[in-house]
Amino acid sequence: MIDLLPMPRTALTRKVLALQIEHAYQQLGTSLAVNLVNGLVLVLIFYGDIDGRKLLLWIAAIYAVTLARYALLRRFRDPRLRQQTHETEWGSLFLIGALGSGILWGAAGIALFHPTSQLHQIFLAFALGGMIAGALPLLSALTPAFQLFAIPVSLPIILRLIAEGDRVSLTMAVLFLIFMVAMLVSSSQFSHILRESIELRLKLLSSIEEKQQQAMLARIDSLTGIANRRLFEEALANEWKRAARTRTPLSMAIADIDYFKRYNDHLGHPGGDQCLRKVAESMATAARRPGDLAARIGGEEFAFILPNTQLSDAAAIAERIREDIESLRIPHPTSPTSDCITVSLGVAEILPDETTSTRDLIKAADAALYEAKDRGRNRVMVAGD
């Protein structure tokens, strides 16, 4: 297939072209309806004054091209079919359709031209000019669709009027030529404004997405890929407000890898980093309910926010986390507790109100964690036990 559109060189120009093509096809339905209605009106008005065979042949050609373009529009609207064809090919098909339609409407300037009736000539020129003016906002989205339509429509009627040679016809030809040039200039300006608008919108969206990504990265622990302390504090504040509003309990578990400093000293920082990533991955898997959050809040310290969770259920979740970490069987040659990596966890629950704060919940869970360490580690302790 002949590709009438140059291949964009940059990602931005590719996106701009894709949106221009999409906009053009969005306008195509209206353009096709106008073609059908105006063609029928023209035939009805000229019927009896112009050879009937010419009229039927011309309107049949108009309807055939219009139906073909409508079939193309239906294919474009089908996501599966659309993906099978490159964007520039869709654009080229659109341009070919605009050219075909323009040639047929231009043919009306010769086939439907009444050589002895200036009233018919004026009406035909007016109708063709109206088609060009109406096509300006519909075809200018994709350059050079409007040019491919407007020039073939204009030239035949201009040349036919010039061939008549009388003053009125020559005046009409000059006026139509001026009108055509004005429409081409307007189309160029319209296309330029639309293209700049699309580029500006894409750059704005890209800037917003980049800022959102940066904001997200600022809340993700770079080593483990789970939430960091900042996101943990923001989420805790939000869940605290929600729990206070709905009068539901809010639980927290704080976990600490047992004897991690010895592990790090013995195997080095690369080994320690690998261990942290594996532990974090397991913990993130455990926090799978809506609203649950696993975060790394210190070197080897992790925390879990468990909204709308009773203390007994939070303790059960913490025990499952402890078992999951132990089942990883990460060797720990220097641990006096186990031959593999283990964690200790402290669990606390609170019913938020105006007399309590997030610090109270963190303090209670932290105290339970230290109790677990004091009792030999690799265990879960609940605040208040």
Do 49 and 183 fall within a single domain? yes
Residue 270 in this model has a pLDDT that exceeds 70: yes
262 Cβ contact list (under 8 Å, min separation 6): 332, 334, 335
**Strand, coil or helix: 337:** coil
Integer angstrom CA distances of residue 37 from 41, 70, 113, 190, 235: 6, 15, 19, 26, 60
Residue 216 in this model has a pLDDT that exceeds 70: no
pLDDT (0 to 100) of residue 364: 95
pTM of this prediction exceeds 0.85:
no
- Over residues 313-340, the pLDDT tens digits come to 999 999 999 999 999 999 999 999 899 9
Do 339 and 378 fall within a single domain? yes
In a domain, 310, yes or no: yes
* DSSP label at residue 200: H
pLDDT (0 to 100) of residue 215: 67
E strands present in the chain: 250-257, 293-296, 301-307, 343-350, 380-382
pLDDT (0 to 100) of residue 346: 96
Q: Find the domain containing 204 and state its range.
A: 11-211
Query: From CA 325, how far away is CA 346, in angstroms rounded?
Result: 15
Query: From CA 370, how far away is CA 119, in angstroms rounded?
Result: 100
Lookup result for tokens 């010419």 = 54
- Over residues 276-301, the pLDDT tens digits come to 999 999 988 887 777 889 999 988 99
- The phi and psi torsions of 218 (rounded to 5 degrees) equal -70, -15
**Strand, coil or helix: 375:** coil
Do 294 and 179 fall within a single domain? no
In a domain, 1, yes or no: no
Instruction: State the average pLDDT over residues 53-63.
Output: 92
Instruction: State the average pLDDT over residues 63-82.
Output: 91
Calculate what percentage of the chain has a pLDDT beyond 70. Answer: 96
Q: Which of these ranges, 78-82, 126-130, 151-155, 325-329, has the smallest mean pLDDT? A: 78-82
pLDDT (0 to 100) of residue 279: 92
Q: Before 144, cis peptide (omega within 30)?
A: yes
In a domain, 344, yes or no: yes
CATH number at residue 249: 3.30.70.270
Instruction: State the average pLDDT over residues 62-69.
Output: 94
Do 206 and 260 fall within a single domain? no
Label residue 253 by pLDDT band (50, 70, 90): very high
Do 205 and 242 fall within a single domain? no
Last residue of one domain, picked from the residues 184, 211, 238: 211
Residue 176 in this model has a pLDDT that exceeds 90: yes
In a domain, 60, yes or no: yes
Give the tokens for residue 246: 């709905």
- The phi and psi torsions of 256 (rounded to 5 degrees) equal -135, 130
Instruction: State the average pLDDT over residues 155-173.
Output: 92
Calculate what percentage of the chain has a pLDDT beyond 90. Answer: 60
For residue 167, count other CB atoms closer than 10 A to its CB: 8
Start-to-end CA distance of the chain, whole Å, equals: 78
Contact between residue 323 and residue 255 where contact means Cβ atoms under 8 Å apart = no
In a domain, 217, yes or no: no
Do 39 and 174 fall within a single domain? yes
pLDDT (0 to 100) of residue 117: 87
In a domain, 237, yes or no: yes
Do 58 and 194 fall within a single domain? yes
Residue 3 in this model has a pLDDT that exceeds 70: no
Residue 2 in this model has a pLDDT that exceeds 60: no
- Over residues 195-207, the pLDDT tens digits come to 888 888 888 887 7
Residue 16 in this model has a pLDDT that exceeds 70: yes
In a domain, 254, yes or no: yes
- Over residues 105-119, the pLDDT tens digits come to 999 999 899 888 888
Contact between residue 199 and residue 16 where contact means Cβ atoms under 8 Å apart = yes
Residues forming beta bridges with residue 380, ordered by sequence position: 345
Do 53 and 171 fall within a single domain? yes
Instruction: State the average pLDDT over residues 240-250.
Output: 93
Query: From CA 255, how far away is CA 366, in angstroms rounded?
Result: 9
Do 125 and 161 fall within a single domain? yes
Residue 217 in this model has a pLDDT that exceeds 70: no
* Total count of domains within the chain: 2
Last residue of one domain, picked from the residues 211, 239, 266: 211
Do 78 and 114 fall within a single domain? yes
Do 233 and 279 fall within a single domain? yes
- Judge residue 4's burial from the number of C-beta atoms within 10 Å of its C-beta, 0-12 exposed, 13-18 middle, 19 or more buried: middle
In a domain, 262, yes or no: yes
* DSSP label at residue 108: H
Q: Which of these ranges, 66-80, 210-224, 248-262, has the smallest mean pLDDT? A: 210-224
Do 341 and 301 fall within a single domain? yes
- The phi and psi torsions of 304 (rounded to 5 degrees) equal -125, 130
